[in-house]
Amino acid sequence: MHLKTDNSSLPFFKKDFFRLWFSVLIFAAGQYQEQLSVGYIVYELTNSEIQVIFFYTVRVIPIIIFSNYIGYIADLINRKKLLSIIMFLGSVGLFLFSFLMYLEIYNFSIIMIFVFFSGCIWSGVMITQQSYSYDIVGPKFVSQGTALTKGADRIGGIIAGYFSGKLVSNYFHYPFLLSALYHLCSSILILPNSKIANYSPVRNNKEKPKISEILYILKNNNVLLVLIILTITTEIFGFSHNSIMPILVKDVLSGDADDLGFMMIVRQFGGIIGILLIIVLGNIQQKGLWLLVSALGMSFCVFFLGLANNSLIFIVALFSLNIFSSSCDSLYQIIAQKSVLNKDRGKALGAWTFALGSGPLGYLIIGLIITAVNTYDFTGLTNQYHNAPGPQLALNLNGFILILLVLVTFRYAKKLREFKT
């Protein structure tokens, strides 16, 4: 007697999901490589913390402008085709930018325009890929499906971390040319025809997205509303540490481009651990409580990252931070989709992605603290920091504020705390 295992019921064994997974991995390798390289190049050219923070801010602005529109469009048309088109447009932009870098035709304005364009691509892919993943796996496996696609994203980041430092330290255009090829391959990989249709009903009307619809959903869905507020909180005071990573590596650790790439790898490995927790413990129903605990863990790690004055402490804090932040990121997307009707998933993800656009406020806060430390004498306050008192003090303050805000949310957001899937 033979027992037959039906692997077809598992999301990763579906051909469409398998293609999506590899497409996300390849795209992420290009996206992280471009992001790390731009940060390194800007700091090398300007030696200005504020300039680096400014370019990270520009990259996030498209999320504020376009996320709700993309979410609405993702509810109207075939998500797989939309995803492939966005990835292809990203490859075109990267090919052009790498060519300009090769010809040494670049300045502040050109880099800023490219970073804004890259932010548009990133925003579009982030929303559409999660909705398309849901179309493939359905509500039963949404936790595992979300975690697996985020895992692909993190593995792509490891690839980027390994190659980026070696490439950008030799020739500025190499990372962007390779990223363009990654984006092109990812857009082609996802193209083969399939019978997967949008899980949410496709609308027949062509109405433009209305903010009032999203506000109505938030008004009548306490879980999603608090989720959006918590997302804004963690984006401002938690995830904003990414904007000063090139500064921390160079000034605190006295590192170079290879060291920056290594820290990218550390971040991604921590993220993979957080994702594995989602996959292994995906059947746990108390997703809201899990999210709040992860956010609190993330808060403490941001605080301790600011105290790190040697490589070992820095790596441990960064690794732990990304375990918690990766869990938060996956749980945000799972709860956002499970807390609304199928027909509203695109708009819910659009609203959540819009909340990600609050990140520049965090960058602004870090920039103001750095400027204050560089302008005024805070020797008594900052003498325990190593080489980068402004960025490190900013991380300590952000971590402390985030701890308080998450504890308040834990105390009063009962519906989110008790939310189950």
List the chain pLDDT tens, one digit each, 421 residues: 343 434 445 555 678 888 889 999 999 999 888 888 888 788 877 878 788 888 888 888 887 787 767 777 777 777 888 899 999 999 999 999 999 888 888 787 888 899 999 989 988 888 788 778 878 887 777 777 777 888 888 898 888 888 776 676 666 778 888 899 999 999 998 877 555 555 444 444 445 545 666 677 777 788 888 999 999 999 999 988 888 888 888 888 888 888 888 898 999 899 999 988 888 876 777 888 999 999 999 999 999 998 888 889 999 999 999 999 999 988 888 888 888 877 777 777 777 877 877 888 888 888 888 888 877 766 666 666 767 788 888 899 999 999 999 999 988 888 888 888 7
Q: Which two tokens stand for residue 398?
A: 């952000």
**389-412 vs 359-375: helix axis angle to the nearest 10?**
140
- Number of domains, the chain: 1
- Chain segment 158-208, per-residue pLDDT in tens: 888 887 766 766 667 788 888 999 999 999 988 775 555 554 444 444 455
Q: Are 71 and 127 in contact (CB under 8 A)?
A: yes
What is the dihedral sign for C-alpha 26, 29, 34, 35?
A: positive
222-237 helix and 311-338 helix, angle to the nearest 10 degrees: 160
Structure letter (DSSP) for residue 250: I
Nearest to 228 by CA among 63, 77, 349, 141: 349
Structure tokens belonging to residue 258: 């290879």
DSSP 199: S
* Residue type present at position 319: F
Picking from 403, 192, 399, the residue whose alpha carbon sits closest to that of residue 305 is 399
Answer yes or no: is 201 within a domain.
no
- Residue 80: exposure state from Cβ atoms within 10 A (0-12, 13-18, ≥19): buried
Of residues 78, 197, 144, the one with CA closest to residue 338:
144
* Closest to 177 (Cα-Cα) out of 55, 43, 30: 30
pLDDT at 11: 53
Token representation of residue 415: 């519906």
The pLDDT of residue 8 is 47
- pLDDT of 74: 72
Candidates 409, 378, 356, 350; CA nearest to 124 is: 350
Buried/exposed 232-253: b ≥16 CB within 10 Å, e otherwise: bbbbbbbbbbbbbbbbbbbbbb
Q: Tell me which residue range forms the domain holding 124.
A: 10-193+209-417
Q: What is the C-alpha separation between 188 and 153, in angstroms, rounded?
A: 17
Residue 398 near residue 369 (C-beta atoms within 8 A):
no
| pLDDT of amino acid 314 | 92
What residue type is assigned to position 183 of the chain?
Answer: H
Structure tokens at 212: 């009032």
* Distance (Å, whole) CA 273 – CA 4: 31
Q: Rounded distance, CA 333 to CA 417, Å?
A: 16
φ, ψ for residue 195, nearest 5 deg = -95, 10
Backbone angles phi, psi at 420, to 5 degrees: -125, 150
Residue 202 lies in a domain: no
CATH of the domain at 109: 1.20.1250.20
Tally of CB atoms within 10 A around 371: 13
**What is the largest distance, in Å, between two alpha-carbon atoms of the chain?**
79
Nearest to 357 by CA among 142, 59, 134: 59
Q: How far is CA 250 from the centre of its chain?
A: 23
CA-closest candidate to residue 349, choices 236, 152, 199, 247: 199
Q: Which of 98, 97, 95, 88 is nearest to 116 (CA)?
A: 97
CA proximity to 177, closest of 81, 259, 270, 92: 92
pLDDT of residue 26: 93
Domain annotation covers residue 198? no
Is position 199 within any domain? Answer: no
Instruction: Record the tokens describing residue 359, joined without a space.
Output: 């990140």
